[in-house]
Structure 1
Amino acid sequence: MVSPKFPDNEIQRLKAVKSYNILDSLPEEDYDNITELIATICDVPIALIAILDTERNYFKSHYGIPFNESPRNISFCGHTILEEEILIINDARKDNRFTGNPLLTEQNAVFYAGVPLKNSNGFALGTICVFDHKPRELNESQIRALKSLGKQVINLLELRRKNEKLKKTKAELQERNKRLGAFASHVSHDLKSPLANITSLTNLLKDDKDSNLSEESITYLEYIEESTNVLKNYIDGILIYYKSDRLVKSKKEDFNLDNIYEDIEHILISKNDKLIYSNVLIKNVNRAALTQILLNLVDNALKYNDKDERIVTISYQLLEDYHKFSVKDNGIGIPEAEQDKIFEIFKTVKNDYGKSSTGIGLSTVKNLVDKLNGEISVTSEIGKGSTFCFTVAK
């Protein structure tokens, strides 16, 4: 018996094998379908997809035998990976390489045909092969089938490796987002308390009639108060943005839109504002995410509005595959050149109204709408107002 030699690139070949994370993996139907098919085409009792490890052949799929590995030093496949295209042994009893080989003497492996499974870098990961207990030959059609199915095994291995990488990347991103969310929550908590203190002290100084503050000093205090509010809004916006993924996972439910509108009125609408809407029963919708979207849009509609009476109108339309909403205001409007940018995070639009923006609110809205499999758009006219339209998939 002659044990197969190791390829000259054995170290690199083994590194390539391990990169597929295929050794000792669970059975998979796609591979089993291939071995059953090639056994049928070649009319043989045994077909294998073998991956060659350091000292063993691991059978990713084994048709016709009960075991899933064998020693590499007695294997036929060890010889096959040294070949360019295919190794055919019509009668192993007449081949000196297999004299006394246990596969021949104990398993009666008389006929063998195998194709090396070479990846795009030329490394032979293993083989696809067939055995029979009697001498025989393969015709040209069977040989072509064996080679073609070998290519399909490589395609499966490559796809499997890509999926493994995607799963790993996804897990890393989820963990990173989790850490970022925790960081945002921690920073928010730590910063909001001193900001609230600054606001309180500023108001105390402004209201202190005995302080004899000059008009210039009061103006400075108002600047401090405004800057503090901007920073608070910025922190709140970041926190909501990072919580948006959790909102999307909330349970869908049936509810009256009136319930959301009443919440919006309670939180945002003052006596000089008017919120116009109609009550509709809506079914199977993520209420938490929808509420956050409408709160952000109505808040923007009121914030950037210079009219004595600020009017916001919310409309709803049931489409075949979507719920469609529009939020219309009579505010200052958005310049046409800026309308494509407003949904990008930290992008702000300059205006003469004096209201600053964090550039987070509309990005949060876009993020939520996208994850609800919808779309959002805006139409606007300077001085007359804006209309935001968005859809949510049913």
Structure 2
Amino acid sequence: MEIPQIPINEKERLEALQRLEILDTPAEKAYDDITLIAAEISKMPIVLINLIDKNRQWAKAAFGINFCESDRKHSICAHVINNPNEITEYKNITEVKEFDKNPLLEKLNPKINYYCGIPIVNKENLALGTLCVIDHKPNQLSDAQKTSLQALAQQVMLLFELRKKNSSLTKAKEELHKQNELLKNFAGTVSHDMKMPLSNMILTIDLLKAQYDKQLDFQGKKHLDYIKQASFTLSDYISSILTHYETDKIADKNNVEEIDVNHLLEEVIDLFHIQEECEINFIEENPVIKVNKIALEQIFINLIGNSLKYNDKNKIIISLNFSKDQHYYYFSVTDNGVGIPEDKKDSIFDLFSIATSVDRNGRKGNGIGLSTVKKLVEGLGGKITVESREGQETSFKFSIQKYSQKKTA
């Protein structure tokens, strides 16, 4: 018996094999299907997808034989990988001197007489293993059969590479999810821990103004008012962060109840205590729908709030519309406000993205609200879009998937 030679590029070949992370993985249908097709093409009873590791031959897939691995010294495929660009065919392997008294061949029952190995080669022309077909009697493949098997061997290599890419993407996704969870927990902890000190700060400012009203001059009172306003701004910012990171909990599709949409809108608008001249056109019909009320309320608070804040007209006009089909509810909130610049439309739903520098009262936004709205809408199975003409109007249109309770037997 002749021991297979070690390829001159063995170090690079083994590194390439290890990078695939394919060795010792469970059986997969895609590779089993390849062996089934190869058996049909070749009309052979045995097909293997073998990979040559440092000291062993390992089978990723096997057809017609119960085989997992063997010593590399006894492997026929280990000979084949020394010629990565050639098909190796032994019409009657019992007559080949280099395999005489080969322990692997001698223990197989029934015996192997025919072997044909097609190298599985990567882009660097490194043979990682073979697609081989085997028969119990002397045989021979036609040129057409060999060409077809070569194509299958190339497909095996593509499957290896695709599997590796998918595995890398899965790992990256898991790591991203892990980091996002850490960020959510951090943001939640910090935000909760800051809320109480801010509330105390605002309360202390009111106490100072009440207790030392006569001692404070105009400038002193102005400074306290500035600190109080800044505290409110920071408090709103923290609340927005908390809402943003809690959207997954808020947008539970199963947390639904029947609501009167116009009644919900009235409750939302009452929250703003509107002082400006404002015309609000409610939905003409009076729809009663089954949705996640908390999530829908939060969506409207953000969108209507923006319509009120980012409006430079003497009279604010907000129009609300509703429609539905078999699967979705559709809503729109349209206003006659400042509009959104063309170059900001694509990023308007990104976290911390701001379309205008200040609102109607000269306050700067935090860029969290619309990102939160998008997360809520998508969490409810819908989509949101925006249409806007700068200086004239903005219309946000969003959908929500209808709640459907699956019946169980």
Normalising by structure 1, what TM-score?
Answer: 0.89
- Separation in 1 of the partners of 2:20 and 2:252? 33
State the shift of 1:286 in Å.
5.3
1: CA distance, partners of 2:297 / 2:124: 53
Report whether the alignment pairs 1:356 with 2:367. Answer: no
1:195 equivalent in alignment to 2:201: no
Q: Compute the displacement of 1:287 (Å).
A: 4.9
Aligned counterpart in structure 1 of residue 334 of structure 2, from 328, 331, 337: 328
- Residues 88 and 118, structure 2, Cα contact 8 Å, conserved in 1: yes
Match of 2:405 in 1: none
The counterpart of 2:398, out of the listed 374, 390, 394, is: 390
Q: Match for 2:386: what amino acid? A: S
**Residue 342 (structure 1) shift:** 3.6
Deviation at 1:219, TM superposition (A): 1.6
Residue aligning to 1:376? 385
Deviation at 1:129, TM superposition (A): 0.4
Q: What is the one-letter code of the residue matched to 1:223? A: Y
How many Å separate the matches in 2 of 1:192 and 1:379? Answer: 35
* Displacement after TM superposition at 1:364 (Å): 2.1
**Compared CA separation, residues 232 and 381, structure 1 to 2 (3 A):** same
Structure 1, residues 208-235: CA drift from partner, whole Å, max 9, x if none?
4644322222221121111111111222
| 1:297 matched to 2:306 | no
1:1-394 correspondence runs (5 A): 1-83=1-83, 84-107=85-108, 108-208=111-211, 210-248=213-251, 250-251=253-254, 253=256, 255-258=258-261, 260-261=264-265, 264-265=268-269, 268-270=271-273, 272=275, 276-277=282-283, 279-282=286-289, 287-304=293-310, 312-319=318-325, 322-329=328-335, 332-334=337-339, 336-337=341-342, 340=345, 341-348=347-354, 349-351=356-358, 353-369=361-377, 372-379=381-388, 382=391, 386-393=394-401
Q: Do the aligned partners of 2:119 and 2:131 also contact (CA within 8 Å) in 1? A: yes
Counterparts of 2:200 and 2:327 in 1: how far apart (Å)?
A: 49
How far the C-alpha of 1:40 sits from its partner, in A, is 1.6
- Opposite residue 371 of structure 2, the aligned amino acid is S
Where 1:364 maps in the other structure, the secondary structure is: helix
State whether residues 302 and 373 of structure 2, in contact with CA within 8 Å, keep that contact through their aligned partners in structure 1: yes
Kindly tell me: are residues 291 and 85 of structure 1, through their superposed partners in 2, closer, same or farther at Cα, counting changes over 3 Å?
farther
Structure 2 residue identity aligned to 1:95: V
Distance in structure 1 (CA, Å) of the matches to 2:126 and 2:376: 45
SS of residue in 2 equivalent to 1:224 = helix
Aligned residues of 2:340 and 2:394 also touching (Cα < 8 A): no
CA distance in 2, matches of 1:171, 1:333: 41
Partner Cα distance (1:257, 1:39) in 2:
65
1:40 and 1:385 map into 2 onto residues whose CA distance is 66
- Residue 299 of structure 1: how far off its partner (Å): 2.3
Q: Is the 8 A contact 2:247 2:372 kept in 1?
A: yes
- SS at structure 1 position matched to 2:339: coil
Distance 2:211 2:387 in 1: 45
Give the C-alpha shift of residue 89 in structure 1: 0.9
- Give 1:114's aligned amino acid: G
Runs of at least 5 residues in structure 2 that lack an aligned partner in the other structure:
403-409
Q: Which has the larger displacement, 334-343 or 25-34?
A: 334-343
Sort the Cα spacing of 1:26 and 1:9 in 2 relative to 1 into closer, same or farther, 3 A. Answer: same
Specify whether residues 339 and 323 from structure 1 end up closer, same or farther in structure 2 by C-alpha distance, changes over 3 A only.
farther
Work out the number of aligned pairs and report it. Answer: 390
Amino acid across the alignment from 2:44: V
- Deviation, 1:92, is 1.1
Q: CA deviation at 1:111?
A: 0.7
SS state at 1:19 partner: helix
Q: Distance in 2 between the 1:286 and 1:88 partners?
A: 67
Equivalent-residue separation in structure 1 for 2:165 and 2:279 (angstroms): 54
Q: CA deviation at 1:101?
A: 1.0
Q: What residue in structure 1 maps to residue 406 of structure 2?
A: none
* 1:2 positional shift: 0.8
Q: Is the 8 A contact 1:116 1:150 kept in 2?
A: yes
User: Residue by residue, what CA displacement relative to the aligned partner does 1:275-305 show, whole Å, maximum 9, x if unpaired?
Assistant: 634542335x555543332221122233345
Judge conservation of contact 1:248–1:286 (CA < 8 Å) in 2.
yes
CA distance in 2, matches of 1:80, 1:199: 80
1:287/1:140 CA distance change after superposition, 3 Å: farther
By how many angstroms is 1:387 displaced? 3.1
Contact kept, 8 Å, 1:202 with 1:221, in 2: the verdict is yes
Percent of aligned pairs sharing the same letter: 37
TM-score, L = length of structure 2: 0.86
